[in-house]
Amino acid sequence: MREKDESQPLHISKVAVGCASVEALRRRQALRVADGEVPLVTRFRPKRADELVGGSVFWIVKHRITARQTILGFAQREEDRKTVIRLSPELVPVKTLARRAHQGWRYLPASEAPADLDGDDSGLAELPARLTAKLAALLLI
């Protein structure tokens, strides 16, 4: 049985299907904002949902984790009983990390989650999104 680390939240990773860039994901998310949240619909409620609140969804774009959104909570749609993961509308860029595509979502322990670019003093957060994507594809960042 695995030990839980109560001090760090649990995260999940999810492929941003159909998004060729973080900007495309940002535009998609902006269209979905309702009541200050972005709903993410999934078939089943994660078994470890309570551990995920306060964690993040790390988005995979072009086989690289590139951004994250904070998980605010969970709800259930009445019409089809699907689970809604309630996300913060803020899309936070992170240091890119190679990740294979997968269906649905996968748990991501805090120890494996990439750091935010916001607090990074390397200047990467100021680069244009297209340049950042190209540098990441070349494994330079």
pLDDT above 60: residue 28: yes
Other C-beta atoms lying within 10 Å of the C-beta of residue 14: 20
List the beta strands (DSSP E) in the chain.
11-15, 38-42, 56-61, 64-76, 83-87, 92-98, 105-108
Nearest residue to 14 (alpha-carbon basis) of 53, 58, 47 = 58
Identify the pLDDT of residue 131: 77
pLDDT above 60: residue 27: yes
pLDDT in tens, 88-110: 999 999 988 888 888 989 999 99
Alpha carbons within 13 angstroms on the beta-carbon side of residue 63 total: 7
pLDDT band at 5 (very low <50, low <70, confident <90, very high): low
Identify the pLDDT of residue 1: 40
Identify the pLDDT of residue 2: 45
pTM of the model: 0.82
Question: Could you tell me the two tokens for 107?
Answer: 């748990």
Identify the pLDDT of residue 96: 85
